[in-house]
């Protein structure tokens, strides 16, 4: 097997995923093309160097449908020879895309690949691609389908995370993200997004709120109470978890990942590629894994995929210096910290999606970059990147700084 | 043309009036003969140029068409799925032929061909297949009699519409209304149906056929909306329409929430709505027929049809009525005791057109008993389902009194006083003093043996038990209990009275608790024993709801009140003396009573009762009954709650407390809310097999105590692989 090295990673800043967001006017093809241009140009790659590009994308309808990756490749001015693959593993798409891109190098199918992802949630709203899981009675009823927010509240209820616990976590995430930005820790990775005239429309994450406090968050109304009680979802969750009498609805906009637009790219290649191009690898892929987990609780996949991926590379949690877990909801991270038994100080040290946002198809690739930057900044060795996924799945990647 | 079940008259305008009228039957049902006549007509309609339109009507005052003939359908019981599917598709092809005049959808959509107009004139109930036939015509006129029921109630016996109902209704009303009508199965009135859009016109009684003809006369061609170019679901449909997604997500969750996944028909209806809204109409019909076949061959629908339809109908007719015995028609009833039960009995009796003398010790209580009826009819009038005149007449029939002499001309007395042998004896004597020798005296006792109570009577042959359930106007069952000396005439009168008030009677042997009150305490005690063992009350309550009990056991105990349970225990103890077998669960009751946590009425029981009618399990119960460190599995808790009902029911059948498995099942489903998807305890035993039942009961007996041991006769059945129902 060939070793897959990460030569570079970069991302767009994350823009508010609504009509008043800065990236609303940028097409998702353009978002994807801009990160592809940047990764090519700043590494001095020729147009035909890259064999394959794998991008995650979650809501694959309209302008995000029909292999957006290939459209972005062509739009970015890559050579005709570079192929494009679009994949969907819900929120895990971006990380899965990095893993698939790495696999192509590891198996020798390709010498150079790019893994990444794109999502314009302002233009292609979450859920607009339909799907059987939530609306086909033959599927949804048998799998005790509940929307993700209900799962997040179920998770909090099951493990006893109070409203104060989840708000405190969210406040800390905002604080860490603000500090990281102030400290310039994202400078290496964030490339500004430009409009059709070539002007910069966004150069920093748009959603970070440094001034958040637990007191301020405590004012917000829980988002999923009505849906849970009136649409029957609480009842469905309780049927699956009959030890629970009532779901405590603790999540709201302030302690859940923000809805944003963005794209990311991770340049991966074998050793020969680096030598040939005179590029120094920044990290190498140690192990990768994906698993399925109980779909009603939905969000506990990171725990199980972490155990799997550590087993695969013969490591224990103590071998991991830095943890990166997508902050889909506060309870997801709180449960992970408890289940794996790690220190809050070692995970999501520069904040996460609660502060900066979660562009569904891109996030996984973004947090790979965040981990590499932080390993380099702190001089640490090994990071584990993981993400929870809709319908009960988990994806994880272990990387080692070089 | 020679029809047997329909009459066809073609008028001068070329409009055929098709009157369905099956000879020798009080009601039109869609059986093979009617189908074949309708088929003949459909072919003629399509090909005969002298007919330019048609109106379908009924010759029966009882209704339009009651739907498929379930008895006929049972002949398909052993048919293969393919054969059932083919039979269902024949009905669909017939209905389709009416609305298309035999042309293909493509011909109609492209306006190459035009269908002849066909309307329905509905002058009585149109349910199930009957309504589906109406939906397959272009225009539906219904009489303005708001008592007429229109609906697709198949789900109530575990089935789904199979004649296009899941496809035509949503294409007319939109998904939400159609889903509500079919997953709940509740029929609606003509005005409501007009509002929903599947009745086009409501006409005065007597003018319905004319109105339908009038429409046909003025309509040269007609096409169903789904056979027109560019048809769209009203309100959105399909897999991608955001409005449909907004509908399906919560609707599916609510369906699971309410059915707990125990009723496959509800899910199949939702699937027909979802998949059907993606497909073209003809394929959608096929999908419905396939789901119908799947559900029809599912054991749950068999269980439900047997108990909720076949056994119920038999019990309400003559199955248990003594042969050749006549009894006086009940025209005046005396009710002793105007409390909750007496008031309810007075209401259901007056509702059946029978005069009621409602007696209590003081006039205020007696009058309050009548107020109960006043409140019910007031609500019904308010909701437009009862006419004021009928409400007035009903109330007119109830006379509150304190005078026993007012009972002099009653035919039947029903005693519903406090559950105490002395008090009951006293009212028996006082009533018998003023009534003639042939007047029947019935006790509404829920547990006390009738022969014992009859000792207070001077004419024990006229003494009987009629055990109503609370609330009387809602609970459909009554237990009829004959004492040692009760004669057949008395029994017949009780059964005839049950028929008059529309209740389902089962005959129970005269033992303490009869049938239902031997099974229910066992179930409630099992729940309390688990509390005592430290099983999580949340798990316990959710397990009960999960298997389909309508109310969880601790919640039910709170509703009944723990002080009442305590009193019943005390009474039984003193009545039985040394024979009394105490249950370990009594400690739990005693503890709750000691703490003053008596249930809902004291705003504290196993639950805390919060504002806005919300309640939460009492958080401090652990202090008194600490949670076990290792909790049992859900399956184990469910099993104990279920077998605590199954085993006593089996014992009752074994001991002849109930006469047959039908009565055991009816009593369970209609008396205490045993999950209807199982068909009742005996249907459930047959569903899993007697051997499996005996094995599991033995396992529970080993693990939890001999109360779970199955009776001998069931062991014998298991050994010889004989089902409980020998003929179903």
Dihedral sign for Cα B288, B292, B294, B300, please. Answer: positive
Contacts of B634 in chain A (CB under 8 A): 242
CB contact under 8 Å between B546 and A239, yes or no, is yes
**Across B150-160, average pLDDT:** 95
Residue whose C-alpha is closest to residue A32's, from A70, A78, A60, A72:
A72
Whether pLDDT at B70 is above 80: no
3-state secondary structure of A9: strand
Contacts of A230 in chain B (CB under 8 A): 250
Residue whose C-alpha is closest to residue B166's, from B157, B175, B158:
B175
Q: What is the pLDDT of residues B651-674, one digit of tens each?
A: 999 999 999 999 999 999 999 999
Sheet with B118-122: list strands edge to edge. Answer: B6-10, B15-20, B53-58, B118-122, B139-143, B201-203
Q: Which residue of A has its CA nearest to B270?
A: A137
pLDDT recorded at residue A252: 97
Residue whose C-alpha is closest to residue B676's, from B263, B270, B99:
B263
Residue whose C-alpha is closest to residue A285's, from A396, A373, A210, A366:
A396
What is the distance between the alpha carbons of residues B402 and B413, in angstroms, rounded to a whole number?
15
Contacts of B239 in chain A (CB under 8 A): 130, 132, 135-136
Q: What share of chain B is helix, strand, coil (3-state, %, to 5)?
A: 55, 10, 35
Q: What is the pLDDT of residues B78-124, one digit of tens each?
A: 788 999 999 899 999 999 999 999 999 999 999 899 999 999 999 99
Provide ipTM, 2 decimals.
0.91
Count CB-CB contacts under 10 A for residue A272: 11
Active site residues of A: 91, 358, 388
What is the distance between the alpha carbons of residues A100 and A86, in angstroms, rounded to a whole number?
11
**Across B609-626, average pLDDT:** 91
A236 has a chain B CB within 8 A of its CB: yes
Q: Is A82 exposed, middle or buried (CB count within 10 Å of its CB: 0-12, 13-18, 19+)?
A: buried
DSSP class of residue B386?
A: S
Q: How far is CA B527 from CA A65, B534, B583, in A?
A: 55, 11, 12
Whether pLDDT at B564 is above 90: no
**Across B6-24, average pLDDT:** 94
Active site residues of B: 132, 154
Could you give the angle at the alpha carbon of B12 between the alpha carbons of B6 and B14, nearest 5°? 60
Q: Which residue of A has its CA nearest to B248?
A: A135
Q: Is B138 exposed, middle or buried (CB count within 10 Å of its CB: 0-12, 13-18, 19+)?
A: buried
What is the distance between the alpha carbons of residues B706 and B182, in angstroms, rounded to a whole number?
44
Q: Return residues 536-555 of B near A (CB < 8 Å).
A: 536, 538-539, 541-543, 546
What is the distance between the alpha carbons of residues B154 and B433, in angstroms, rounded to a whole number?
51
Q: What letters, b where the CB count within 10 A reaches 16 and e where it falls short, cover B464-502?
A: bbbbbbeebbebebbbbbbbebbbebbbbbbbbbbbbbe
Residue whose C-alpha is closest to residue B591's, from B527, B526, B532:
B532
Task: Give residue for tokens 């389909």.
Answer: B548
A247 has a chain B CB within 8 A of its CB: no
- Give me the phi and psi of B580, to 5 degrees please: -65, 130
Q: What is the pLDDT of residues B442-474, one digit of tens each?
A: 999 988 899 999 999 999 999 999 999 989 999
Dihedral sign for Cα A12, A17, A19, A20, please. Answer: negative
Count CB-CB contacts under 10 A for residue A142: 12
**Could you tell me what percent of chain B has a pLDDT over 70?**
98
Among A128, A137, A230, whose Cβ lies nearest the Cβ of B252? A137
pLDDT recorded at residue B447: 85
Among A130, A146, A242, whose Cβ lies nearest the Cβ of B253? A146
What is the distance between the alpha carbons of residues B480 and B471, in angstroms, rounded to a whole number?
17
Asked whether B118 and B135 are in contact (CB, 8 A), the reply is no
Q: Cβ contacts of residue B282 below 8 Å, gap of 6+? A: B96, B105
Peptide bond preceding B702: is omega within 30 degrees of 0, i.e. cis?
no
Q: pLDDT band at residue B319, thresholds of 50, 70 and 90? A: low
pLDDT recorded at residue A74: 97
Asked whether A265 and A34 are in contact (CB, 8 A), the reply is no
Q: Cβ contacts of residue B93 below 8 Å, gap of 6+? A: none
Higher pLDDT, B728 or B30: B30
3-state secondary structure of B338: coil
Asked whether A263 and A10 are in contact (CB, 8 A), the reply is no
CB contact under 8 Å between A235 and B257, yes or no, is yes
Where do the H-state alpha helices sit in B534-581? 537-547, 553-560, 562-576
What is the distance between the alpha carbons of residues B430 and A115, in angstroms, rounded to a whole number?
93
pLDDT recorded at residue A132: 84
Asked whether A74 and A41 are in contact (CB, 8 A), the reply is no
B169 has a chain A CB within 8 A of its CB: no
Q: Is B268 exposed, middle or buried (CB count within 10 Å of its CB: 0-12, 13-18, 19+)?
A: buried
Distance of CA B552 to the CA centre of its chain: 20
> Would you write out chain A's pLDDT as a tens digit for each of its 402 residues?
899 999 999 999 999 999 999 999 999 999 999 999 999 999 999 989 999 999 999 999 999 999 999 999 999 999 899 999 999 999 999 999 999 999 999 999 999 999 999 999 999 999 888 888 899 999 999 999 999 999 999 999 999 999 999 999 999 999 999 999 999 999 999 999 999 999 999 999 999 998 999 999 999 999 999 999 999 999 999 999 999 999 999 999 999 999 999 999 999 999 999 999 999 999 999 999 999 999 999 999 999 999 999 999 999 999 999 999 999 999 999 999 999 999 999 999 999 999 999 999 999 999 999 999 999 999 999 999 999 999 999 999 999 999
pLDDT recorded at residue B584: 86
Whether pLDDT at B407 is above 80: yes
- Give me the phi and psi of A300, to 5 degrees please: -95, 5
Among B256, B543, B546, whose Cβ lies nearest the Cβ of A232? B256
Asked whether B563 and B539 are in contact (CB, 8 A), the reply is no
Contacts of B248 in chain A (CB under 8 A): 134-137, 140
Q: Quote the radius of gyration of chain B (alpha carbons, Å).
A: 28
DSSP class of residue A222?
A: P
DSSP class of residue B347?
A: H
Residue whose C-alpha is closest to residue A31's, from A204, A192, A268:
A192
3-state secondary structure of B641: helix
Among A141, A242, A244, whose Cβ lies nearest the Cβ of B546? A242
Contacts of B249 in chain A (CB under 8 A): 134-135, 140, 145, 147, 231
- Give me the phi and psi of A336, to 5 degrees please: -65, -45
Q: Terminus-to-terminus CA distance in chain B, angstroms?
A: 40
Q: What is the pLDDT of residues B173-182, one digit of tens each?
A: 999 999 999 9
A272 has a chain B CB within 8 A of its CB: no
Q: Return residues 28-87 of A near B (CB < 8 Å).
A: none
3-state secondary structure of B49: coil
Asked whether A393 and A90 are in contact (CB, 8 A), the reply is yes
DSSP assignment of B120-189: EEE-SEEETHHHHHHHTSSEEEEES-TT--EE--GGGGT----SSHHHHHHHHH-HHHHHHHHHH---B-
Count CB-CB contacts under 10 A for residue B105: 17
Among A135, A146, A238, whose Cβ lies nearest the Cβ of B245? A135
What is the distance between the alpha carbons of residues B481 and B509, in angstroms, rounded to a whole number?
6
Asked whether B91 and B116 are in contact (CB, 8 A), the reply is no
Contacts of A140 in chain B (CB under 8 A): 248-249, 252-253
Contacts of B256 in chain A (CB under 8 A): 141, 144, 232, 235-236, 239
Asked whether B185 and B154 are in contact (CB, 8 A), the reply is yes
Q: Which residue of A has its CA nearest to B634?
A: A242
Asked whether B475 and B448 are in contact (CB, 8 A), the reply is no
């Amino acid at each position: 097997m060939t070793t897959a090295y990460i030569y570079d990673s970069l991302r767009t800043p994350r823009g508010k995923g609504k009509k008043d967001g800065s990236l609303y006017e940028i097409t998702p093809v353009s978002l994807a093309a801009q990160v592809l241009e940047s990764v090519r140009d700043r590494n001095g790659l020729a147009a035909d160097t890259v064999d394959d590009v794998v991008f995650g994308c979650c809501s694959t309808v309209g302008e995000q449908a029909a292999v957006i990756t290939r459209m972005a490749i062509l739009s970015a001015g890559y050579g005709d020879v570079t192929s494009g693959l679009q994949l969907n593993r819900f929120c895990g798409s971006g990380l899965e895309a990095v893993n698939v891109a790495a696999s192509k190098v590891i198996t020798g199918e390709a010498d150079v690949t790019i893994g990444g992802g794109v999502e314009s949630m302002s233009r292609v709203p979450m859920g607009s691609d339909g799907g059987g899981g939530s609306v086909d009675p033959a599927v949804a009823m048998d799998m005790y389908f509940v929307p993700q927010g209900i799962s997040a509240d179920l998770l909090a209820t099951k493990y006893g995370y109070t409203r104060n616990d989840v708000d405190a976590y969210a406040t800390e995430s905002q604080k860490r993200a603000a500090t990281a930005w102030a400290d310039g820790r994202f400078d290496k990775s964030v490339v500004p997004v430009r409009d059709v005239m070539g002007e910069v429309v966004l150069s920093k994450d748009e959603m970070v709120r440094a001034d958040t406090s637990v007191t301020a968050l405590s004012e917000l109304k829980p988002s999923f109470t009505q849906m849970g009680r009136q649409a029957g979802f609480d009842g469905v969750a309780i049927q699956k978890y009959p030890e629970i009498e009532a779901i405590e609805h603790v999540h709201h906009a302030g302690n859940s990942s923000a809805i944003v637009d963005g794209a990311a790219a991770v340049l991966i290649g074998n050793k020969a590629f680096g030598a040939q191009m005179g590029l120094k690898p920044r990290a190498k892929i140690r192990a990768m894994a994906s698993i399925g987990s109980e779909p009603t609780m939905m969000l506990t996949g990171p725990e199980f995929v972490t155990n799997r991926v550590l087993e695969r590379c013969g490591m224990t949690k103590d071998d991991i210096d830095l943890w990166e877990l997508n902050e889909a909801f506060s309870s997801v991270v709180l449960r992970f910290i408890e289940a794996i038994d790690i220190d809050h100080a070692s995970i999501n040290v520069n904040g996460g999606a609660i502060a900066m946002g979660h562009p569904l198809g891109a996030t996984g690739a973004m947090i790979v970059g965040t981990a590499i930057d932080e390993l380099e900044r702190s001089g640490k060795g090994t990071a584990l990147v993981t993400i929870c996924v809709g319908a009960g799945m988990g994806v994880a990647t272990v990387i080692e700084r070089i | 043309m020679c029809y047997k079940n329909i009459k066809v008259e073609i008028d001068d305008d070329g409009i055929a009036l098709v009157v369905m009228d099956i000879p020798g039957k009080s009601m039109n049902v869609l059986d093979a003969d009617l189908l074949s006549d309708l088929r003949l007509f459909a072919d003629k309609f399509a090909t005969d140029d002298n007919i330019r339109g048609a109106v379908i009507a009924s010759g029966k005052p009882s209704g339009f068409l009651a739907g498929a003939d379930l008895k006929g359908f049972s002949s398909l019981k052993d048919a293969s799925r393919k054969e059932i599917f083919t039979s269902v598709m024949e009905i669909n092809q017939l209905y389709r032929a009416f609305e298309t005049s035999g042309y293909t959808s493509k011909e109609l959509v492209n306006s190459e061909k035009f269908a002849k107009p066909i309307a329905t004139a509905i002058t009585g109930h149109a349910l199930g297949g009957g309504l589906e036939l109406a939906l397959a015509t272009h225009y539906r006129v219904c009489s303005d009699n708001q008592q007429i029921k229109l609906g697709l109630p198949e789900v109530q016996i575990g089935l789904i519409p199979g004649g296009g109902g899941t496809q035509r209704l949503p294409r007319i009303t939109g998904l939400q209304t159609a889903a509500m009508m079919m997953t709940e199965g509740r029929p609606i009135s003509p005005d409501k149906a007009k509002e929903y859009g599947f009745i086009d016109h409501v006409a005065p009684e007597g003018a319905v056929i004319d109105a339908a003809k009038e429409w046909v006369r003025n309509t040269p061609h007609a096409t169903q909306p789904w056979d027109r170019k560019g048809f769209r679901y009203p309100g959105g449909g399909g897999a991608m329409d955001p409005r449909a997604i907004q509908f399906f997500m919560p609707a599916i969750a609510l369906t699971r929430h309410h059915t707990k996944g125990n009723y496959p028909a509800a899910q199949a209806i939702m699937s027909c709505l979802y998949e059907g809204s993606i497909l073209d109409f003809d394929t959608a019909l096929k999908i419905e027929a396939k789901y119908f076949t799947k559900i029809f061959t599912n054991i749950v629908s068999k269980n439900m049809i047997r108990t909720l339809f076949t056994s119920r109908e038999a019990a309400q007719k003559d199955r248990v009525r003594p042969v050749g015995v006549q009894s006086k028609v009940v025209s005046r009833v005396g009710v002793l005791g105007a409390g909750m039960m007496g008031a309810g009995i007075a209401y259901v009796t007056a509702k059946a057109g029978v005069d009621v003398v409602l007696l209590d010790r003081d006039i205020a209580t007696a009058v309050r008993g009548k107020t109960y009826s006043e409140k019910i009819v007031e609500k019904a009038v308010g909701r437009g389902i009862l006419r004021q005149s009928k409400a007035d007449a009903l109330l007119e029939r109830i006379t509150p009194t304190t005078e026993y002499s007012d009972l002099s001309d009653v035919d039947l007395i029903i005693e519903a006083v406090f559950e105490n042998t002395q008090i009951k004896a006293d009212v028996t004597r006082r009533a018998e003093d003023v009534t003639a020798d042939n007047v029947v005296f019935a006790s509404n006792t829920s547990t006390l043996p009738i022969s014992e109570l009859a000792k207070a009577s001077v004419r024990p042959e006229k003494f009987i038990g009629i055990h109503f359930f609370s609330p009387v106007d809602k609970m459909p069952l009554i237990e009829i209990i004959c004492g040692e000396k009760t004669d057949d005439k008395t029994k017949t009168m009780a059964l005839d009275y049950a028929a008059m008030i529309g209740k389902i009677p089962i005959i129970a042997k005269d033992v303490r608790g009869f049938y239902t009150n031997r099974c229910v305490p066992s179930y409630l005690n099992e729940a309390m024993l688990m509390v005592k063992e430290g099983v999580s009350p949340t798990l316990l309550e959710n397990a009960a709801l999960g298997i389909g009990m309508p109310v969880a056991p601790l919640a039910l105990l709170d509703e009944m009140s723990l002080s009442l349970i305590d009193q019943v225990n005390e009474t039984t103890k003193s009545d039985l003396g040394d024979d009394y077998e105490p249950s370990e669960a009594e400690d739990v009751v005693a503890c709750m009573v000691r703490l003053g946590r008596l249930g809902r009425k004291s705003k504290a029981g196993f639950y805390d009762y919060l504002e806005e009618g919300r309640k939460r399990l009492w958080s401090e119960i652990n202090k008194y009954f600490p949670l076990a460190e290792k909790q049992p599995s859900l399956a184990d808790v469910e099993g104990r709650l279920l077998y605590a009902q199954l085993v006593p029911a089996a014992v009752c059948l074994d001991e002849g407390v109930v006469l047959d498995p039908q009565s055991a099942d009816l009593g369970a489903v209609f008396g205490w809310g045993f999950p209807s998807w199982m068909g009742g305890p005996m249907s459930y035993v047959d569903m899993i097999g007697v051997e499996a039942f005996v094995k599991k009961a033995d396992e529970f007996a080993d693990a939890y105590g001999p109360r779970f041991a199955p009776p001998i006769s069931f062991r014998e059945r298991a050994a010889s692989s004989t089902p409980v129902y020998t003929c179903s």
